[in-house]
Amino acid sequence: MMTLTRFAGWPVIAGAGLAGLSAALHLDRPCVVLTPGALGEEAASMLAQGGFAAAVGHDDSISLHVADTLAAGDGLCDRKVVETIIGAGPSAIHTLLGWGVAFTRKGSDTLDLHLEAAHSRARIAHVRGDGSGAGIMQALIAQVRNLPRIVVLDGVTLEHIHAVDGRVRGVWLNTGQFIPTNSCILASGGAGALYAGATSPNSNTGRGMAAAARAGAQLADMEFVQFHPTALNVETGGARLPLISEAVRGAGGVLVDETGERFTDELQSRDRVSRAIAGHRSEGHQVFLDARTGKSGKGLKRVFSRQFPGIALSCLHYGIDPDRELIPVRPAVHYHMGGVATDLHGRASLSGLWACGEVACTGLHGANRLASNSLLEAFVMGRSVAWDVNNSPRERHSCQDPDRPVRMGAASFGVQMEKGAGILRDQDGLGALSSYLAPLAGRDDHALVGAAIASAALRRCESRGSHWRIDCQMTARAERFHFTLKDIGLQERSSVYA
């Protein structure tokens, strides 16, 4: 049968990163988790190196963490959202410890906390130096596997959201099957893989955002694409670029060019460091991260491969010994602050649709995400979504198959995205990108998300946070932009049905 009657009425969670697993574990009812690969694979959370930001240090406070987040967000954070999510950090750490996450400690009682760029205190709880995402995910995966009420469908993704009269009534899967439900939770990740040269898993192309938009939900802050300053500058044959964690610079690593000279402050916010590197490279320079053990108090205090074993292995795979050599680096797309617009319960503008993690836009990150706030947001908002779904009415569902929408295309536009909506933007480049993608957006999900990014970036005639317009660098009045299909000239969602 086309309809999976067994799961009728169950919440469907599209994505199995930290946000999706947090939602599943906090639900009080049976649910279905969709994952494009085996559980834990193709999730950006598994790749996270830095760790989990939370104000748990003896010299730290919620107010300091809030202030750092607001400063990084460059005027566009929602203060209530920031205070709520940041305020939940200590309780989230407590829950994760109870679920078996082996955060590294100093002694028996104190967590070992890293410092990262734009944080005023060391507040990054980590696992095995640079294995934080994998360490957290492995603990949650073990919890999920011990709960029979959570059904995981491997190799399955959400293809369409079926909405009737402004309410979710079911979801179509890439297998051609349909699950009737009034509770869909998007946790499908960001859109980094739309770009050529990104640290994101190749499945993170924004298709959850596209499905939400086609069903009638609003998107927000689509122009804000964060470039990580230090991806490993090597040829990967189309695979994602290995990441050199923010924590390396927090531990004393410095940026130098081919002459050995430093050219910027490494501990500024990510957007500033990325622009400094991009500018220096545009002048013909090469850029390296010097993370060797220093003398006279400079450089790393511990040998790199002992402090960051995972990153060291990535470097060695490409013939680079970070203990003895400079590490070639370049900026690369790493995180998308925009996504499906939600409130603090994770509710989208479409009834019955929730979103959490990178696919969502809560207003926490504003124009520029503060390092390591993403895992915090994913866990806290996954929990918030689950609590809201737990209190939502349970409805009976018809098991009759609705008409299946036309299958959307998924072409590659990485080179065009990098050129038109990269670190340094202008009207000509954005206009050309928008004109190229908009006519394709009606039948291609990648084009839809790319066109939304270009359209929003064209509208924002200023430079703010991760969005930098070389043709209008003055900052205007702080304002957040929402987006619907009509903003790129698309018809109502019914146009995608056969």
175 φ, ψ to 5°? -80, -5
In order, the DSSP letters of 41-76 are TT-HHHH--S-EE---STT--HHHHHHHHHHHTTT-
Cα 356 versus chain centre, distance: 10
User: CA-CA distance, 194 to 204, in Å (whole number)?
Assistant: 8
Q: Are 327 and 292 in contact (CB under 8 A)?
A: no
User: CA-CA distance, 166 to 239, in Å (whole number)?
Assistant: 39
Q: Are 490 and 210 in contact (CB under 8 A)?
A: no
Q: If you ran DSSP here, which 8-state letter would residue 289 be given?
A: E
Using alpha carbons, select from 1, 486, 483, 13 the residue that is nearest to residue 222: 483
> Per the residue annotation, which of 270, 275, 369, 469 is the catalytic one?
270
Amino acid 483 reads F
User: CA-CA distance, 427 to 357, in Å (whole number)?
Assistant: 30
User: CA-CA distance, 232 to 332, in Å (whole number)?
Assistant: 9
Helix, strand or coil, per DSSP, at residue 229: strand
Q: Are 387 and 26 in contact (CB under 8 A)?
A: yes
Q: Is 79 a catalytic residue?
A: no
Q: Are 17 and 35 in contact (CB under 8 A)?
A: no
Q: What separation, in Å, do the N-terminal and C-terminal C-alpha atoms of the chain show?
A: 20
User: CA-CA distance, 176 to 159, in Å (whole number)?
Assistant: 9
User: What is the set of active-site residues?
Assistant: 270
